[in-house]
Chain A
């Protein structure tokens, strides 16, 4: 009961009461702030992963049998298991230390970037919905619709080089945006809960696209009744960035651009201002003349557009056709990425990279006979701790963050709003 914020009772707030000292507050802020919390969540996640690796390692289990006669064996075995596992993760996702050439060495990093691209794009989309106070869990459906639209243009239309790719990208993004706008429209008009609507639209999207993939509209001629599309025309494929030796394609560049666009949209533009206003206090926004219903429609369309870019990335970043499973969980992982990234442009980008790295590194760990589910648990634990700040504060005995954050103010003054103080 010592915290006045939780009681709903009058909190004395008088500016003439002396403020706490700056340095003390700064320390408290650094410890209580989001960055430290995120880092600690990562640490906890990887520690839990390490425990799982140790507990399932054969050498460890064998040496545990004679633990009391030679305890050092167990510790050595445990250390070896963890270092082998996480070493493989590093080699699989960042730099392959066993490679003979530098180009070979950095190939894992390019894989990380490639796998992170759709996660970042979809993560930005979900993050946008969070900022508007909406919970868009329809990423899967929106991604699929985006992929279907982009795919349709990529193999049904045969346009000149350059134009074809651009048209396919635009169609993919617009298609997803339209799909998302339905959610906003239903919410604005009927007050329908966007969580329910997006879940249901996921089912509809999967069934609808599967259906279309059995018709001439989306089906490959050689698919023999299976829902599968033709390969995109060469003119509509996202070109490789580093030549044939690497799978990294233009999609990553688009995602970097999308990240910058997201930052501008949310932090600098009037649209983002209204998005945030509605998300933080819809009543005040409405009273100030902002049409909240219209913002919901626009926000859901914009959210789905970013997710649609992930769909585009998946549909056009290949030279084969695709099936309705093209989402492969990205739509849901994006929720996690958005949460981990705190719904900011930079945060989502970094969170997407982290998850991309885990995806890229998981095969290398499997080679060391560590099951890929360990990384799933690591991801889950990280997000659990991010989503429940009091939990990590309790474990590490961190102070509560100051409500008036100096760091946040400093950051806002310089970056978020792009305004350097005079």
Chain B
């Protein structure tokens, strides 16, 4: 099916999220929509999917204008969408999930589960998905769950498939498998819109590339363009994607984790005998697919978890059993993975957020009085030093873009006297400019002789920042390897195969 968007404009108040976007997707084409966070890709797709009404412009399917008042209309017209966050019910089987919303029935009321099963099996075979219709979704690996989402769309006869950042949750191998599937679908005539900000994937799979920036289409590119050309189009200026760093200069500081084990309330192992050492002046990056114990590891170090055994020593001082306050006071700087949930208070001003982990005593308070004058000065200089784009120190942090929120967190954590710096998913959801900045600050911290622990599910980030890489799988460390280790090996380790 040929999909055409003509002059789509979508405004939120005075903000123009989509500015006269015109786009044609030919049948059987893999069309990449490339752009940074906030470029307007998701808004455009939500217009296409009937979630938003466009203020101007038209959607044409096979040269016929259509209007959608909701996702139901879009689905009926043959548009399928796989969201970044899966819309599956974990305790249902694959077949039950696929039929959800348009259940086949017998005799008017009885669910026809065999029909749904047969449908899943048929689609699965046609495209080589290898999905068991009777498996519970919660038992399936993330990559297979994603295929269930794709089957859901295909079961509703989707002929245009929108994949919104589909590779964010996948291992490199799973990503490769997804690309094979995408090519198979395209070959059978399905048009695919592939939304991403990952340049490597774009070049590998796309037939055509459209680059969006600030709500506008800024250009189209062929898959043969170099990554730096694509990045330049995306950001609007030349960017340096490599992180420059010298050989590590070790210092006497040492962070040592030994036999760390953490249990959940039911006694299941979240962390299983985790051991590693980071010396001052080096970066150890934890790689792994999301949900393999990385979050629990940082929480255990910070003192946010109970049921933790083993030892965590910072310069010889034991931290297991200490309160968060004591851990922070021992000189641990922490950038949490979910900055909106754990890192900032959106309804506080930028200045107020900067004193969040030092809310009593020096330097921001004398007695019970907050020294607002000092805080104001501190915030002003932090805004300058960390290039936080804000109207002022009294702008609410929730109003800043993700990159600037992350800079607020960094400014707060790096302004203390640190003995250890932990950053979890430090650049998740950030634009390229902010990523460069955050990476530079991390390396600067390392070069100041502080042990640095990075947790990231982005392999590119791990490889470019790390001096050594520890790969986690199901709560265990599969191995600790040198940063020069090949991606294939790292990918295998992320799937649990020891190097």
Residues on A lying within 8 angstroms of B by beta carbon are 1-4, 7, 9-21, 24, 268-271, 273-274, 276-277, 280-281, 283-291, 403-404, 409, 412-413, 417-419, 421-422
B38 touches A14 (CB 8 A): yes
**Are B345 and A17 interface neighbours, CB within 8 A?**
no
Given A283-B341, A284-B343, A284-B345: A15 touches B401 (CB 8 Å cut-off): yes
Residue numbers in A under 8 Å from B392 (CB-CB): 409, 421
- Neighbouring B residues of A20 by C-beta, 8 Å: 13-15
Contact B12 A4 (CB under 8 A): yes
For A280, give its contact among B46, B347, B365 (CB under 8 Å): B347
- What are some 16 contacts across the A-B interface (CB < 8 A)? A1-B51, A2-B52, A7-B46, A10-B43, A12-B42, A20-B15, A270-B364, A280-B346, A281-B344, A281-B347, A284-B356, A285-B345, A287-B342, A289-B329, A403-B399, A417-B394
Tell me whether B12 and A290 are in contact (CB under 8 A).
Answer: no
Q: A1-B53, A269-B369 are in contact. List 6 more A-B contacts (CB 8 A).
A: A2-B52, A20-B14, A21-B14, A270-B369, A277-B345, A287-B343
* Contact indicator A409/B401 (Cβ below 8 Å): no
Look across to chain A and name the residue whose beta carbon is closest to the beta carbon of B12: A4
A409 proximity list for chain B (CB < 8 A): 392, 394-395
User: Known: A274-B359, A277-B348, A419-B372. Is A287-B395 also a contact (CB below 8 A)?
Assistant: no
Complex interface: chain A residues within 8 A of B346 (CB): 280-281
- Cβ contacts under 8 Å, B42 to chain A: 9-10, 12
Partner among A17, A24, A270 whose Cβ is within 8 Å of the Cβ of B359: A270
Contact between A7 and B370, CB atoms less than 8 A apart: no
Per-position binary interface string of chain B over residues 385-426, scored 1 when its CB falls under 8 Å from any chain A CB and 0 otherwise:
000010010111011111010000000000000000000000
- A12 touches which of B40, B336, B395 (Cβ 8 Å): B40
Task: Name the distance in Å between A80's Cβ and chain B's nearest Cβ.
Answer: 48
What is the bound-complex CA distance between A13 and B15, given in angstroms? Answer: 9
In the bound complex, how far is the Cα of B250 from the Cα of A337, in angstroms? 61
Complex CA–CA separation, A4 to B394 (angstroms): 24
Compute how far the CA of A274 lies from the CA of B357 in the bound complex, rounded to whole angstroms.
Answer: 10
The answer on a CB contact under 8 Å between B360 and A270 is yes
Given contacts A280-B348, A284-B341, contact A14 B323 (CB under 8 A): no
Give the residues from 137 to 184 in chain B that come closer than 8 angstroms, CB to CB, to chain A. Answer: none
CB within 8 A of B356: which of A10, A269, A288?
Answer: A288
Partner pick for B14 among A19, A271, A277, A287, CB 8 A cutoff: A19
- Which residues from B are CB-within-8-Å of A419? 372-373, 376
Chain A residues in 8 Å Cβ range of B349: 412
User: Which residues does B use to contact A, with CB under 8 Å?
Assistant: 12-17, 37-40, 42-43, 46, 51-53, 214-215, 302, 304, 323-325, 327-329, 334, 336, 341-349, 352, 355-357, 359-360, 364-365, 368-370, 372-373, 376, 389, 392, 394-396, 398-402, 404
Across the interface, which residues of A come within 8 angstroms of B40, CB to CB?
12
Q: Across the interface, do A289 and B357 meet the contact criterion of CB distance under 8 Å?
A: yes
Docked Cα-Cα span, A2 to B15, in Å, equals 13
Chain A residues with CB below 8 A from B401, complex form? 13-15
Contacts of A21 on B, CB cut-off 8 Å?
14
User: In the complex, A269 Cα to B368 Cα: how many Å?
Assistant: 5
Among residues of A, the one whose C-beta sits closest to the C-beta of B38 is: A14
- Cβ A288 vs Cβ B52 within 8 A: no
A280 B324 Cβ-Cβ under 8 A = no
Contact, CB under 8 Å: B404 / A15 = yes
A-B CB pair tally, cutoff 8 Å: 142
The answer to whether B15 and A287 touch across the interface, beta carbons within 8 angstroms, is no
Q: A24 to B356: give the CA distance in the assembly, Å.
A: 34
- Give the interface centre of A14, A268, A422 by most chain B CB atoms within 10 Å: A14
Cα of A276 to Cα of B349 in the assembled complex, Å: 12
Decide if B394 touches A9 in the complex (CB within 8 Å): no
> Taking the nearest CB of chain B, how far is it from the CB of A189, in angstroms?
14
Report A-chain residues with C-beta under 8 Å of the C-beta of B51.
1, 7, 9
Residues of A within 8 A of B376 (CB): 419, 422
B83 (CB) vs chain A CBs: closest residue: A9
**Nearest CB of B to A281, in Å:** 4
**Chain A: which residue is nearest B380 at the CB level?**
A422
Residue from A14, A288, A418 whose CB has the most chain B CB atoms within 10 Å: A288
Cβ contact within 8 Å between A287 and B368: no
Task: Looking at the assembled complex, report how far the CB atom of A20 sits from the nearest CB atom of chain B, in whole angstroms.
Answer: 3
A17 CB to closest chain B CB, in angstroms?
A: 5
CA distance A403 to B398 in the complex (A): 9
- Asked whether, in the complex, the Cβ of B395 is within 8 Å of the Cβ of A404, the reply is yes
Of the candidates A4, A16, A19, A287, which one forms a contact with B334 in the assembled complex, judged by CB atoms under 8 Å apart? A287
Measured between alpha carbons, how far is A18 from B215 in the docked complex, in Å?
12
**CB pair A273 B394 closer than 8 Å:** no
User: Nearest Cβ in chain A — how far from B374, in angstroms?
Assistant: 11
Residue of A nearest to B164 (CB): A10
Q: What chain B residues lie within 8 Å of A283 (beta carbons)? A: 341-342
Set of chain B residues within 8 Å of A285, measured between Cβ atoms: 345, 356
Q: Given A270-B360, A277-B348, decide whether A289 and B12 contact each other with a Cβ distance below 8 A.
A: no
Query: Are B394 and A412 in contact (CB-based, < 8 A)?
Result: yes
Residues of A near B345 (CB, < 8 A) are 277, 280-281, 284-285
Chain B contacts for A284, CB-based, 8 A: 341-345, 356
Docked Cα-Cα span, A280 to B397, in Å, equals: 12
By a CB distance below 8 angstroms, the chain B residues around A3 are 12
| A11 and B12 contacting across the interface, CB-CB below 8 Å | yes
A271–B368 touching, CB < 8 Å: yes
10 pairs of A and B residues whose beta carbons are closest in the complex: A20-B14, A288-B357, A289-B325, A10-B42, A14-B38, A288-B356, A287-B342, A12-B17, A281-B345, A289-B324
What residue of chain A has the Cβ atom nearest to residue B339's Cβ?
A284
CB distance from A371 to the nearest CB of B (A): 42
Q: Which residues of B contact A276 (CB under 8 A)?
A: 348
CB distance from B399 to the nearest CB of A (A): 5
Roughly how many angstroms separate A274 CA and B368 CA in the complex, as a whole number? 11
Q: A2-B53, A12-B12, A280-B348 are in contact. Are A273 and B359 (CB under 8 A)?
A: yes
Kindly state the separation between the CA atoms of A421 and B396 in the bound complex, as whole angstroms: 16
- Docked CA distance A2–B52 (Å): 6
Residue of B nearest to A273 (CB): B359
| Contact in complex: B334, A18 (CB < 8 Å) | no
Q: Give the distance in Å from the alpha carbon of A14 to the alpha carbon of B36 in the complex.
A: 10
Q: How far is the CA of A418 from the CA of B351 in the complex (A)?
A: 14
Closest A-chain residue to B18, C-beta based? A12
Q: In the bound complex, do residue A270 and residue B365 qualify as a contact, i.e. CB atoms below 8 Å apart?
A: yes
Return chain B residues, CB-CB under 8 Å to A270: 359-360, 364-365, 368-370
CB distance from B59 to the nearest CB of A (A): 16
A122 to B45, CA, bound (A): 51
Q: Let me know if A273 and B352 touch, CB within 8 A.
A: yes
- The smallest C-beta distance from A356 to any residue of chain B, in angstroms, reads 31
The distance from the CB of B394 to the nearest CB of chain A, in whole angstroms, is 5
For the complex, give the distance between the alpha carbons of A281 and B356 in Å.
11
A284 to B340, CA, bound (A): 8
User: With the chains together, A19 CA to B391 CA distance in Å?
Assistant: 11
Task: Find chain B residues with CB under 8 A from A13 CB.
Answer: 38, 401-402
Q: How far apart are the CA atoms of A422 and B376 in the complex, in Å?
A: 10
Say whether B214 contacts A16, CB under 8 Å.
yes
Inter-subunit contact A1/B52 (CB<8 Å)? yes
Chain A CB within 10 A, most for which of B215, B356, B400, B404: B356
Q: Which residues of A contact B329 (CB under 8 A)?
A: 289
Q: Given A283-B342, A284-B343 in contact, is the A289-B328 Cβ separation under 8 Å? A: yes
Q: How far is the CA of A10 from the CA of B302 in the complex (A)?
A: 30
Question: Which chain A residues lie closer than 8 Å to B400 at the CB level?
Answer: 15
Shortest distance between the CB of B338 and any CB in chain A (Å) = 8
B215 near A17 with CB under 8 A, answer yes
Contacts of A12 in B (CB 8 A): 12, 15, 17, 38-40, 42-43, 215
